[in-house]
Amino acid sequence: MFKIAYIDDEADVVRQFQINTMEDFEVIDLELKSDITEMRECIISSDVSALVVDFLLNDTKPEIHYNGVELVEGIIRLREKFPVFILTSYEIEAENTSINPDVVYPKSLVNQDPNRFNRKIKRKIENYKKEIEEAQSELVELLRKPTTLTLAEEERLIELDDFLEKNSNKAMAIPKHLKELSYNKRLNELIDKTEQLLKTIKG
């Protein structure tokens, strides 16, 4: 069963969400922090598979000076493709922000058709985890190649590593100095070939 976080400033709304999703998910209720950076860190360290957050977070807590969109955008900067959902009774207002409107859902959907919403969460989590697993497998396969990587393979290796670095706690990140060494090696090879070509032309 996937563990997800639901964040809302109204306790009764949190309880209703937990009731609507309890058969499909382990829902943890994260206490709102007045500092958005601290709140983001709390979400990341909770090791959840998805985040569901209310759009307006200060209806009952005026000390909260950020909304669900700002919180989600911060999480996406840390975890590029992490499954996020914004629930709101103010759907148009939320969609008119800078957030991708595809992550905005009306609260009525959860209450009227919770199974449909639960399927959406589960599918997003599964797709996200599958993408990470496939990237890990491809990266390991490239690292285990007995021969020197081609330039295209090397570029793909860096691309995969960057994706994993942004989405899985940097667990498989290639150290930066190795990336630089690899690029420098390619650059030196190119310089050598250019110098040889220039000598040939002058000769």
Regarding whether 102 and 191 lie in a shared domain, the answer is no
Regarding whether 169 and 91 lie in a shared domain, the answer is no
Regarding whether 120 and 179 lie in a shared domain, the answer is no
Regarding whether 184 and 136 lie in a shared domain, the answer is yes
130-143 burial: b if 16+ Cβ within 10 Å, else e? eebeebbeebeeee
Regarding whether 59 and 112 lie in a shared domain, the answer is yes
* Owning domain of residue 83: 2-127
pLDDT band at 71 (very low <50, low <70, confident <90, very high): very high
Domain end residue (candidates: 127, 157, 180)? 127
SS3 85: strand
- Residue 54, pLDDT score: 94
Provide the domain count of the chain.
2
Q: Is the pLDDT of residue 26 over 90?
A: yes
Regarding whether 162 and 119 lie in a shared domain, the answer is no
- Residue 171, pLDDT score: 40
Instruction: Let me know: does 86 contact 53? Beta carbons within 8 Å.
Output: yes
Q: What is the pLDDT of residues 152-182, one digit of tens each?
A: 888 888 888 888 888 865 444 555 555 655 6
| Sheet containing 104-106, strands listed edge to edge, beginning at the edge strand earlier in sequence | 25-29, 2-7, 50-54, 84-88, 104-106
Q: What CA–CA distance (Å, rounded) separates 167 from 119?
A: 22
Regarding whether 66 and 37 lie in a shared domain, the answer is yes
Return the closest-CA partner of residue 87 out of 49, 51, 123, 36. Answer: 51
Domain end residue (candidates: 100, 127, 154)? 127
| Percent of the chain scoring above 90 in pLDDT | 43
pTM: 0.78
- Residue 119, pLDDT score: 94
Report the mean per-residue pLDDT for the chain. 84
20-29, 40-49, 104-113: range with lowest mean pLDDT: 104-113
Of residues 166 and 193, the one with the higher pLDDT is 166
Of residues 159 and 187, the one with the higher pLDDT is 159
Q: Is the pLDDT of residue 36 over 90?
A: yes
Q: What CA–CA distance (Å, rounded) separates 201 from 203?
A: 5
Instruction: Let me know: does 110 contact 20? Beta carbons within 8 Å.
Output: yes
C-alpha dihedral sign at 116, 122, 123, 125: positive
Q: Is the pLDDT of residue 13 over 70?
A: yes
